[in-house]
């Protein structure tokens, strides 16, 4: 953290870092979820949607990278151990092996994409009074992606003919 930013944020940096780490853990778990489900899909989803599920998580990985960059700017490091991802994540439980059919996969995705929208909205709101406009900017940018993710998942679920 540069010395001016350190002066501006003071003790508030720790509060921001904590939320950023939780968001990072969520993103890594969501990435793993989509990737695993896309690779191991069963039933009709295997031929209709598995490929899309494999490309979708690259967006979540980008979010994770942006969060990791901000965490390191603030003088800390993103959690490296998947056991920590599960511990600090705001989404639980997330057992991808239980969501291998298309409808089950998308229904679980609806829940955590919605949670991501709420979380980034919350982060943006919290960052402003703490004086962290960079994190505010980051949160609103990722929020835009999560809103699209949720809408997209909702649209596919609605048009699903396989029940």
- Residues binding Fe ion (CB under 5 A): 27, 60, 63, 113, 146, 149
Least separation in angstroms between CB 113 and Fe ion: 5
Between 63 and 108, name the residue whose CB sits nearer to Fe ion. 63
Between 6 and 148, name the residue whose CB sits nearer to Fe ion. 148
CA atoms within 13 A on the CB side of 131: 11
Least separation in angstroms between CB 27 and Fe ion: 5
Q: Which residues of 147-156 are buried (b: 16+ CB within 10 A; e: fewer)?
A: bebbeebeeb
Least separation in angstroms between CB 11 and Fe ion: 28
Between 61 and 104, name the residue whose CB sits nearer to Fe ion. 61
Q: How far apart are the first and last CA of the chain?
A: 51
Cα distance between residue 2 and residue 25, in whole Å? 25
Least separation in angstroms between CB 10 and Fe ion: 29
Cα distance between residue 58 and residue 33, in whole Å? 12
Backbone φ and ψ of 10, nearest 5°? 50, -130
Between 76 and 120, name the residue whose CB sits nearer to Fe ion. 120
Select the residue whose beta carbon is closest to Fe ion and give its number. 149
Cα distance between residue 63 and residue 75, in whole Å? 19
């Amino acid at each position: 953290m540069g010395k001016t930013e350190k002066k501006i944020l003071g003790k508030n940096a720790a509060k921001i870092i904590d939320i950023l780490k939780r968001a990072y853990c969520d993103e890594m778990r969501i990435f793993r979820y989509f990737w695993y489900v896309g690779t191991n899909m069963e039933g009709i989803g295997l031929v209709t949607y598995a490929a899309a599920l494999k490309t979708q998580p690259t967006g979540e990985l980008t979010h994770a990278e942006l969060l990791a960059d901000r965490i390191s700017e603030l003088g800390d490091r993103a959690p490296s151990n998947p056991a920590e991802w599960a511990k600090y994540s705001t989404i639980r439980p997330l057992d991808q092996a239980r969501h291998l059919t298309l409808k089950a996969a998308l229904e679980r995705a609806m829940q955590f994409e919605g949670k991501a929208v709420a979380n980034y909205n919350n982060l943006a709101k919290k960052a402003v009074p703490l004086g962290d406009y960079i994190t505010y900017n980051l949160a609103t940018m990722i929020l835009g992606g999560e809103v699209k993710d949720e809408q997209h998942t909702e649209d596919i679920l609605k048009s699903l003919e396989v029940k």
